[in-house]
Amino acid sequence: MALLNITTNFTLLESLLNRTEDPDPDCDNFLHPDSPLASAYFQTAVYSMYITIFVVALLGNVFVCYTVLSSPRMRTVTNYFIMNLAVGDMLITILCVPFTSVSLVKQYWPFGGFLCPVINYFQVGKH
């Protein structure tokens, strides 16, 4: 049994090392046409879910900020901390949701070389 596992693992490793890449990769054709990720149904479902998340998160957090700032009774230290979390959540919503949804559906980064490190810096926050 152990010999079978070693042989299987070696064969898998060998196939990964001997893979040949497509000499002419095209950014627009990363998905195989028969892939479920390439179907219009999948793409519509993903975009619909991400748009719903984006709108609800943005409106909900704007409402929290408006409530804290508009009422003098709500201006407490605790509510300012909650508003700070709402502002952070809005930034995450703006900087993560649109870029993640598009790159998930397209299966590549279509926003160019400049935005790749910038958005990655904001999303991950490694300083």
Read off the pLDDT of each residue in 26-31 and give the average, rounded to a whole number. Answer: 48
Read off the pLDDT of each residue in 98-112 and give the average, rounded to a whole number. Answer: 83
pLDDT band per the 50, 70, 90 thresholds, residue 23: very low
Name the least confident of 25-29, 74-78, 111-115: 25-29
**What was the pLDDT predicted at 105?**
79
The whole-angstrom separation of Cα 40 and Cα 32 is: 13
Q: Among 104, 105, 96, which residue's Cα sits nearest to residue 124?
A: 96
pLDDT > 80? residue 37: no
The whole-angstrom separation of Cα 61 and Cα 49 is: 18
Determine the 3-state secondary structure of 111 from DSSP. Answer: coil
C-alpha distances in angstroms, 69 versus 45, 48, 97?
A: 36, 32, 26
**Structure-block tokens of residue 45:** 């479902």
**Structure-block tokens of residue 109:** 């980064």
Share of the chain above pLDDT 70, in %: 68
